[in-house]
Amino acid sequence: MLNPELHLNPDIFSETPKKAALRDGYGEGLLEIGLENSDVVALSADLEESTRAEAFAKKYPERFFEVGVAEQDMVSIAAGFGVSGKIPFVSSYAVFSPGRNWEQIRTTICYNDSNVKIAGHHAGVSTGADGATHQATEDIALMRSLPNMKVFAPCDAIEAKKITVAAAKIWGPIYLRFSRNPSVVMTTEETPFIPGKADIFWLPQNNKKPDVAIIGCGQLVYQCLLAAKALEKEKIQTLVINCHSIKPLDSRQIVAAAKKSGAVVTVEEHQIAGGLGGAIAELLSEENPTPMEFVGVRDVFGESGEGEELIKKYGMASNHIEKAVKKVLRRK
Partner 1 sequence: MLELTDEKIKFLEKRANEIRESVVKMLYEAGSGHSAGPLGMADVFSAFYFHILNHRPEEPEWSDRDRLVLSNGHICPVRYAAMAYAGYFPLDELNTLRKLGSRLQGHPHRQSLPGLETTSGPLGSGLGQSIGMALAAKLDQKKYRIYCFVSDGEQDEGNHWESVMFAAKRKLNNLTVLMDRNNIQIDGFTEDIMPLEPLRQKYEAFNWHVLEINGHSIEEIVDAVNEAKAIYEKPTLIICHTIPGKGVSFMENNYLWHGKPPTRDEAMAALKELRSLGGKIQID
Ligand X SMILES: Cc1ncc(C[n+]2csc(CCOP(=O)(O)OP(=O)(O)O)c2C)c(N)n1
Cα–Cα nearest to 93, from 137, 159, 31 = 137
132 binds, among partner 1, ligand X, none (CB under 5 to 8 A by kind): partner 1
28, 71, 138, 159: the catalytic one is 71
5 binds, among ligand X, partner 1, none (CB under 5 to 8 A by kind): none
Residues of this chain, 40-59, that bind ligand X according to CB under 6 A:
46-47
Residue 73 engages ligand X in binding (rule: CB under 6 A): no
Q: Determine the Cα–Cα distance for residues 184 and 14; give it in Å rounded to an integer.
A: 11
Residue 100 engages ligand X in binding (rule: CB under 6 A): yes
- Please count the other Cβ atoms lying within 10 Å of the Cβ belonging to residue 38: 12
Closest contact distance (angstroms) between CB of 26 and ligand X is 17
Residue 129 engages ligand X in binding (rule: CB under 6 A): no
Residue 48 engages partner 1 in binding (rule: CB under 8 A): yes
Residue 63 engages partner 1 in binding (rule: CB under 8 A): no
Select the residue whose beta carbon is closest to ligand X and give its number.
46
Indicate the residue among 64 and 294 with the shorter CB distance to partner 1. Answer: 64
Residue 66 engages ligand X in binding (rule: CB under 6 A): no
48 binds, among ligand X, partner 1, none (CB under 5 to 8 A by kind): partner 1
Quick note: the x/- pattern for partner 1 over 112-151, rule CB under 8 A, is: ----------------xxxxxxx-----------------
In the 3-class helix/strand/coil scheme, how is 65-129 assigned residue by residue?
Answer: EECCCCHHHHHHHHHHHHCCCCEEEEEEECHHHHHHCHHHHHHHHHHCCCCCEEEEECECHHHCC
Q: Say how many Å lie between the first and final Cα of the chain, rounded.
A: 23
Cα–Cα nearest to 58, from 80, 69, 76, 42 = 42
Contact 218, 154 (CB under 8 A): yes
Does the active-site annotation cover 49? no
- Please count the other Cβ atoms lying within 10 Å of the Cβ belonging to residue 14: 10
Taking CB under 8 A as the binding criterion, the range among 145-153, 174-182, 205-213, 307-315 that sits at the site for partner 1 is: 307-315
Contact 60, 31 (CB under 8 A): no
DSSP string over 147-160: TT-EEE--SSHHHH
Cα–Cα nearest to 272, from 291, 297, 240 = 297
Residues of this chain, 187-226, that bind ligand X according to CB under 6 A:
none
Amino acid residing at 181? N
Annotated catalytic residues are: 71
User: Site residues (CB under 8 A) for partner 1?
Assistant: 44-50, 66-70, 72-73, 95-96, 100, 128-134, 303-306, 309-310, 313
User: Site residues (CB under 6 A) for ligand X?
Assistant: 46-47, 69, 96, 100
